[in-house]
Chains A and B, each alone.
Chain A
Amino acid sequence: MLQTAASATDPSSASRVIDISGLTLTFQTGDGPVNALSGVDLKIGRGEFVSFIGPSGCGKTTLLRAVADLETPTSGTIRVNGMSPQEARQKRAYGYVFQAPALYPWRTVASNIALPLEIMGIDKATRAARVARGLELVNLAGFGNKFPWQLSGGMQQRASIARALSFDPDLLLMDEPFGALDEIVRDMLNQQLLQLWEKTGKTALFVTHSIPEAVFLSTRIVVMSPRPGRIHDVIDCNFPRDRTLDIRETPEFLEVANRVRQGLREGHSYDV
């Protein structure tokens, strides 16, 4: 991995959580190389909520995984809090929420939320307190002793968010966390996630397929296009922090949504 010393001395990098430049990631497959990401540049400041939207194969999940050090870039640099993704991962700088809840079925909800704390060697009393707080945060108080299969899909995904937040990382990486849920549950969770973000002031990177979801949640929307995966457009989207689902009917909201839709269409146009 290429790393430049420059970004570490860059004074503005202090408030910068994510600094990606010239990122290219190629997978070697049986059918030849696949350009998952090509020439991606992106800077994300503290406290931002950035959504990544685009069709399948545009590399949005790969980008998130590269930030999390779950994939290794072919070239270019990623800095997370001024560190390499590997250092950031080793310092447990981020919490990751996957597409599926990935709760361990033999653990209760509480003990699933405590899993990262156990691994980080945090003592039992602190663990119990953090778990209780986490359950409260995602409105699952009283469900700690249930096993995952006793919970609905939405509750499971909330538990997985509580798990990602349990060790209080400043950075939250979410890969289509609500993709498998129905519209109504999704709306509710979007609202809860927004409140959570407002309350905790964390930086969030959020991959989604849904335009309304992206516009509703984000301070910035990154529109991506496929083959090779790259950034097509970055759209500012600063609705008041105390917004409710009602804003989705406002002209301002629809205007931003239209711009996103436009961007998605342009990114797609050459292969239609």
Chain B
Amino acid sequence: MKSVLPLTTVLAALFVFWYLAAAWMNAPLQRDLFANSGRTNYSASDLVAASWNMERPKLPAPHQIATELYKLIVATPATSKRSLVFHAGITLEETLIGFLIGAALGVALAVAVVSVRWLERSLMPWIVASQTVPIIALAPMIVVILNQFDIGGMTPKAVIAAYLSFFPITVGMVKGLRSPDPLQLDLMRTYSATSAQTMRKLRAPASLPFFFASMKIGAAAALVGAVVAEVTKSEDGGLGARLLAGSYYGQTVQIWAALFAAAALSGALVALIGIIARLTLRRMAFPQ
């Protein structure tokens, strides 16, 4: 219960700030709208109230986004192309496929880098370099190149999601696989354990806390990748496509609703991994 008060305080402060910012940013626009419609005798509170309920505000008020989310999630059937559930489903599928590929690749690269000494120096710079290219520039290239090989549909988007998610997993897992202390490693040496045995019985279990931490970052990164990919290739739908459509028509409320849906989706994924991590680590008696 102790954490409820600070949490609600921060939330309340955020809402107050948001409404103030919305009024401040939208008021000039609303004043023009009043002027165009010939309305002159409005009070300051009229202006503020109207600026919180515009059709295309610069910054929508929280309740507008909540209404839009309700409309697009609950009031619209999930099969409709206007439903956010429909689009979130598409994004989730791409994210999960991309995340699985990214996680497998990330862990495999980490195992390789830790097992083979010269790979660290020859492979790691490329892994780091791969992330210095802005994904927004790279995404269209990946789509075009894969299209060349008749690979379309969901695959290019999953590849882009994987591209973003493997990196934090590799970095985290390299650190995790190296986390055993020298004594624990010496012990394996006194048994003349093979490096595969050391990997399986020491490095892998020791890396688990790092594994789950990097999985959380990797999952969030995969979702960003999927959304960016959808913006690049929007004809199949998805939350990214909704963001793009919203910005075409100046539908800021729609953009914000899609944005919140993406954030909620990402948050749910991270929370799910968090629960799995807690259960697993507790079972393995890791200090929490």
Residue of A nearest to B185 (CB): A102
Kindly identify which residue among A70, A116, A147 contacts B191, using a CB–CB cutoff of 8 Å: A116
**Size bin of chain A's contact surface:** 20 to 34
**A100 contacts chain B at the CB level, 8 A cutoff:** yes
Kindly identify which residue among A90, A98, A120 contacts B187, using a CB–CB cutoff of 8 Å: A98
For A142, what are the chain B residues with a Cβ–Cβ distance below 8 Å? Answer: none
For A115, what are the chain B residues with a Cβ–Cβ distance below 8 Å? Answer: 191, 201
Smallest Cβ distance from A62 to chain B, in angstroms? 13
Asked whether, in the complex, the Cβ of B191 is within 8 Å of the Cβ of A120, the reply is: yes
For B189, what are the chain A residues with a Cβ–Cβ distance below 8 Å? Answer: 69-70, 89
**B67 contacts chain A at the CB level, 8 A cutoff:** no
For B193, what are the chain A residues with a Cβ–Cβ distance below 8 Å? Answer: 119
Q: In the complex the two chains form, what is the Cα distance from A115 to B198 in whole Å?
A: 11
Contact with A along B169-194 (1 / 0, CB 8 A): 00000000000010110111111110
**A27 contacts chain B at the CB level, 8 A cutoff:** no
Contact with B along A5-18 (1 / 0, CB 8 A): 00000000000000
Quick one: given A89-B192, A115-B201, A119-B201, are A105 and B285 in contact (CB under 8 Å)?
yes
**A94 contacts chain B at the CB level, 8 A cutoff:** yes
**A118 contacts chain B at the CB level, 8 A cutoff:** yes
For A119, what are the chain B residues with a Cβ–Cβ distance below 8 Å? Answer: 188, 191, 193, 197, 201
Residue of A nearest to B193 (CB): A119
For B286, what are the chain A residues with a Cβ–Cβ distance below 8 Å? Answer: 105-106
**Size bin of chain B's contact surface:** 20 to 34
Asked whether, in the complex, the Cβ of A94 is within 8 Å of the Cβ of B287, the reply is: no
Q: In the complex the two chains form, what is the Cα distance from A100 to B197 in whole Å?
A: 22
Smallest Cβ distance from B84 to chain A, in angstroms? 42
Asked whether, in the complex, the Cβ of A106 is within 8 Å of the Cβ of B201, the reply is: no
Residue of B nearest to A169 (CB): B190
**B246 contacts chain A at the CB level, 8 A cutoff:** no
Contact with A along B271-285 (1 / 0, CB 8 A): 000000000000011
Contact with A along B105-149 (1 / 0, CB 8 A): 000000000000000000000000000000000000000000000
Kindly identify which residue among A69, A100, A106 contacts B183, using a CB–CB cutoff of 8 Å: A100
For A116, what are the chain B residues with a Cβ–Cβ distance below 8 Å? Answer: 191
Q: In the complex the two chains form, what is the Cα distance from A99 to B183 in whole Å?
A: 9
Q: In the complex the two chains form, what is the Cα distance from A136 to B274 in whole Å?
A: 40
For A68, what are the chain B residues with a Cβ–Cβ distance below 8 Å? Answer: 190
Asked whether, in the complex, the Cβ of A149 is within 8 Å of the Cβ of B192, the reply is: no
**B62 contacts chain A at the CB level, 8 A cutoff:** no
For B192, what are the chain A residues with a Cβ–Cβ distance below 8 Å? Answer: 89-90, 92
**A96 contacts chain B at the CB level, 8 A cutoff:** yes
Asked whether, in the complex, the Cβ of A118 is within 8 Å of the Cβ of B201, the reply is: yes
Kindly identify which residue among B187, B197, B201, B205 contacts A102, using a CB–CB cutoff of 8 Å: B187
- Chain A interface (Cβ within 8 Å of chain B)? 68-70, 89-90, 92, 94-96, 98-100, 102, 104-106, 115-116, 118-120, 147, 149
Known contacts A96-B187, A98-B183, A105-B285; 5 further A-B pairs (Cβ under 8 A): A69-B189, A70-B189, A90-B192, A104-B201, A106-B285
- Chain B interface (Cβ within 8 Å of chain A)? 181, 183-184, 186-193, 197, 201-202, 205-206, 208, 284-287
9 pairs across A/B with beta carbons < 8 Å?
Answer: A96-B186, A98-B187, A100-B183, A102-B181, A102-B184, A105-B285, A106-B205, A106-B208, A119-B193
- In the A-B complex, the 5 residue pairs with the smallest Cβ-Cβ separation, listed nearest first, are A147-B285, A102-B183, A106-B284, A96-B190, A119-B191
